[in-house]
A and B are shown apart, each in its own frame.
Chain A
């Protein structure tokens, strides 16, 4: 119930491509869904977040799509750049500390 399942585990795209990372959850009490970006040797940093009252949120090149009925949400990175190469974590929360997915290692090749 407390798990967040993330896929794929790793992803390689060419510069300019649109990587998509997917997450699914079971606990319907979750009401906050952030994405975090982690570079090697650093802690995760908040990228973008969504609440379940909207189906999509965009910030710059990053978009979250949220499907409440399917209990799924995904991150899309438009016009991906080599500097976007990092590990991405989805997470979910409600009245407890965030539960994180297992991460997706993204490599954007020039």
Chain B
């Protein structure tokens, strides 16, 4: 059973397109996150949701819009894709808002390539 699953695993698209990445967790966790990992492996928080409510929105272009239809799902929609959006996007979840109890559980990532 996959704990945090992301689809698709790979996404190749042209500049200017709109795309979505889906994330689902079956752990019953309350908090979900989107992190971006660039080509140098740097992991940077983008969004954090707790029980479907946005609690953190870091400095991210408003072309990125997260949506949480229920606490088990957190999707990421990206409008007008740019070359600089190419990265690996990780979804994660935690039992509590701080991840103190069991840490964060990450998905396997979605490698987005914009050409």
Q: How far is the CB of A36 from chain B (nearest CB, A)?
A: 8
B103 touching A100, Cβ below 8 Å: no
B99 touching A93, Cβ below 8 Å: yes
Q: What are the residues of chain B within 8 A of A94 when measuring CB–CB?
A: 98
* Closest 6 A/B residue pairs (Cβ): A43-B106, A46-B103, A100-B43, A103-B41, A97-B45, A97-B48
CA distance A6 to B71 in the complex (A): 33
Over the window 46-70 of chain B, the binary record of Cβ atoms lying under 8 Å from chain A Cβ atoms (1 yes, 0 no) is 0010000000100000000000000
Q: What are the residues of chain A within 8 A of B107 when measuring CB–CB?
A: 43
Q: How far is the CB of A29 from chain B (nearest CB, A)?
A: 12
In B62-110, which residues have CB < 8 Å from any A CB? Answer: 90, 92, 98-100, 102-109
B contacts, CB < 8 Å to A: 4, 33, 35, 40-45, 48, 56, 90, 92, 98-100, 102-109
CB closest residue in chain A, given B98: A93
Q: How far is the CB of A88 from chain B (nearest CB, A)?
A: 11
B109 touching A43, Cβ below 8 Å: yes
Q: How far is the CB of B67 from chain A (nearest CB, A)?
A: 18
Q: What are the residues of chain A within 8 A of B48 when measuring CB–CB?
A: 97
CA distance A100 to B42 in the complex (A): 8
